[in-house]
């Protein structure tokens, strides 16, 4: 059983990894938003490259809701931004959502042809662990921020691996996975203080998204695993 970690979604792959169960991670904030939207009843969340593509889908399917951001701020004319707390307590039953973001949706689209594509975040971490624990090969994909390393994505990988290895110590880890796990182990109880100091977290806080940052670092708020099919992300049942 193997776990591979891509520190940035666009890294070259030395071997084909399309058969790996792939987990897309954008803690701040796309993976957290997708998980929250689906947990509030949406039928699907479709990731797209940019706002123009989102608007083209809106022309074909007028009842879809548009969500997205550019540089953390809601796109003009869209129904929602990319703020997971914006979707809390919203009744999204049977709604269809199209989402475009600076980082996370690009990571999804880069790996959309992989055999199984899931969403991972702190909000659903234990449910995700339960789903992954019997998978032979797992690929963790960090979205990063504006093409650069993102501390919160990487440390989520370490936290996920730590939980997976509680019941199974025979995983073969690549170097990035080993480092992520080692960092989480060494940080111990200081993990949360350390992760809240990430550059991307501070950027969001400076743009008045402190509530998002605090929410995205909570564990086990939801008990779903989003999976990708031809329509978009849906709830894995």
SS3 of the chain: the string is CEEEEECCCCCCCCCCCCCCEEEEECCCCHHHHHHHHHHCCCCEEEECCCHHHHHHHHHHCCCCEEEEEECCEECCCCCECCCHHHHCCCCCCCCEEEEECCCHHHHHHHCCCCCEEEEECHHHHHHHHHHHCCCCEEEEEECCECCECCHHHHHHHHHHHHHHCCCCCCCEECHHHHHHHHHHHHHHHHHHHHHCCCHHHHHHHHCCCHHHHHHHCCCCCCCCCEEECCCCEEECC
What is the model's pLDDT at position 15?
A: 81
CATH of domain 2-231: 3.90.1560.10
Q: Any idea where the domains of the chain sit in the sequence?
A: 2-231
Say whether the peptide bond before residue 29 is cis (omega within 30 degrees of 0): yes
**What pLDDT was estimated at residue 168?**
76
**What pLDDT, on a 0 to 100 scale, did the predictor assign at position 154?**
98
**What does the pLDDT read at residue 82?**
97
Question: Helix 151-164 to helix 175-187 angle, to the nearest 10 degrees?
Answer: 90
The per-residue pLDDT for 18 is 87
Per-residue pLDDT of the chain (237 residues; tens, 9 = 90+): 899 999 999 998 878 898 999 999 999 999 999 999 999 999 999 999 999 999 999 999 999 999 999 999 999 999 999 999 999 989 999 999 999 999 999 999 999 999 999 999 999 999 999 999 999 999 999 999 999 999 999 999 999 999 999 977 789 999 999 999 999 999 999 999 999 999 999 999 999 999 999 999 999 999 999 999 999 999 976
| pLDDT on residue 122 | 98
Task: Classify the C-alpha dihedral 140-123-26-48 as positive or negative.
Answer: positive
Give me the pLDDT at residue 141, please.
Answer: 98
Q: What pTM value is reported for the model?
A: 0.96
Tokens at 29, concatenated:
């904030």
């Amino acid at each position: 059983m193997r776990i591979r970690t891509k520190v940035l979604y666009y890294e070259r792959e030395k071997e084909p990894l399309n058969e790996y169960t792939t987990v897309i991670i954008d803690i701040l904030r796309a993976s957290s938003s997708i998980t929250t939207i689906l947990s509030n009843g949406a039928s699907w969340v479709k990731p797209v490259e940019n706002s123009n593509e989102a608007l083209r889908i809106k022309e074909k399917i007028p009842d879809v809701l548009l969500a997205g951001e550019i540089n953390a701020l809601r796109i003009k004319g869209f129904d929602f931004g990319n703020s997971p707390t914006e979707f809390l307590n919203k009744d999204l039953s049977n709604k269809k959502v199209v989402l475009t973001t600076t980082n996370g949706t690009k990571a999804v689209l880069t790996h959309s042809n992989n055999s199984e594509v899931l969403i991972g975040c702190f909000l659903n971490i234990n449910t995700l662990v339960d789903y992954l624990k019997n998978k032979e090969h797992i690929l963790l994909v960090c979205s990063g921020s504006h093409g650069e390393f993102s501390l919160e994505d990487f440390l989520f990988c370490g936290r996920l691996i730590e939980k997976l290895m509680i019941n199974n110590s025979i995983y073969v880890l690549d170097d990035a996975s080993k480092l992520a796990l080692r960092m989480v182990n060494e940080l111990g109880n200081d993990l949360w203080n350390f992760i809240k100091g990430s550059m991307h977290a501070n950027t969001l806080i400076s743009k008045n998204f402190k509530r998002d940052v605090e929410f995205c670092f909570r564990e086990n708020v939801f008990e779903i695993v989003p999976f990708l099919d031809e329509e978009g992300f849906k709830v894995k049942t």
